[in-house]
Amino acid sequence: MANSKYEYVKAFERENYLLPETYIVIRVDGKGFHKFSKYYDFAKPNDLGALQVMNAAAMQIMHRYSDVLLAYGDSDEYSFLLRRSCELYERREMKLCTLFASLMSTYYMHFWNQRYPEKLIQLEMIPTFDARAVTYPNFRTVRDYFSWRQVDCHINNLYNTTFWNLVEKLGLTGQEAENKLMGTVSSDKNEILFKECGINYNNEPEIFRKGTIFVREIVNSKECNDDDEIKQLSARQKQRQEKMRKKAEIKEYHVDIINDDNWWESRSWLERS
């Protein structure tokens, strides 16, 4: 770009580069989805179609960027794990956050209109997402992060399932249901569902109770080098690894990642990526 007397304004720009050799998790979250779900008449407590739209958008992002190794989502949020040696946009935080937020918003609208041609997205109520990026120093912390998000999914879904069944099955008002659930723990909510609503919470679909996990399943895990080896790779070797990641199958899971050590151990290559 040609120099001009106005170019000095660039000096005011500041970039935040995320720490190198750390895992990056980018979490996108729906903005104002309470109003959005009401406007488009979501089923309560869970709308399977809307969740599948979220999943389709997240899957599209994983197909687009091979640096994304794993994604976990529930309700109106998704967390994307970028490999430790990721160099996407030179690890610039603002670039990554704006990229993932805009892609999620765009893909969500696309797949929504594809799934619901009878209620297309209207200008006065469009889906928008914000995003944040956090770096984690080791894979143990990464595991704990995704466990935290799944615990959050369980707590919120159990409450919402109980609340909406009290309203729709027992005819309580929203305030009455809220008062009834005030101070209750998980066992209390399970008992209310079972005894008063005839629902065994454990029989609810796993996608509601546990969320959705997408994993880029790299079969030849030996190709996933450790940090020291990655630093020594030539440009051609890096391209070959990127092609391998792009060709890898992306699989969908609904598992209890908190307690399932075997599931994580069978994907130990994630820790070396």
| pLDDT tens figures, 92-109 | 999 999 999 999 999 999
pTM of the model: 0.91
| Every domain of the chain and the residues it spans | 18-151+205-270
pLDDT tens across 5-44, in order? 898 898 898 889 999 999 999 999 999 999 999 999 999 9
Of residues 46, 40, 58, 55, the one with CA closest to residue 116: 40
Angle at the Cα of 143 from the Cα atoms of 142 and 149, rounded to 5 degrees? 95
Annotated binding site: 29-34, 75-76
Annotated binding site for Mg(2+): 29-30, 76
The span from the CA of 21 to the CA of 25, in Å, is 13
The span from the CA of 190 to the CA of 199, in Å, is 8
Q: pLDDT truncated to tens, each residue of the chain (273 aa)?
A: 567 889 889 889 888 999 999 999 999 999 999 999 999 999 999 999 999 999 999 999 999 999 999 999 999 999 999 999 999 999 999 999 999 999 999 999 999 999 999 999 999 999 999 999 999 999 999 999 999 999 999 999 999 999 999 999 999 999 999 999 999 999 999 999 999 999 999 999 999 999 999 999 987 655 455 555 555 667 777 778 888 888 889 999 999 988 888 999 888 888 888
* CATH dotted code for 18-151+205-270: 3.30.70.3000
Annotated binding site for GTP: 29-34, 75-76
Specify the pairing of strand 249-253 against strand 129-136.
unpaired
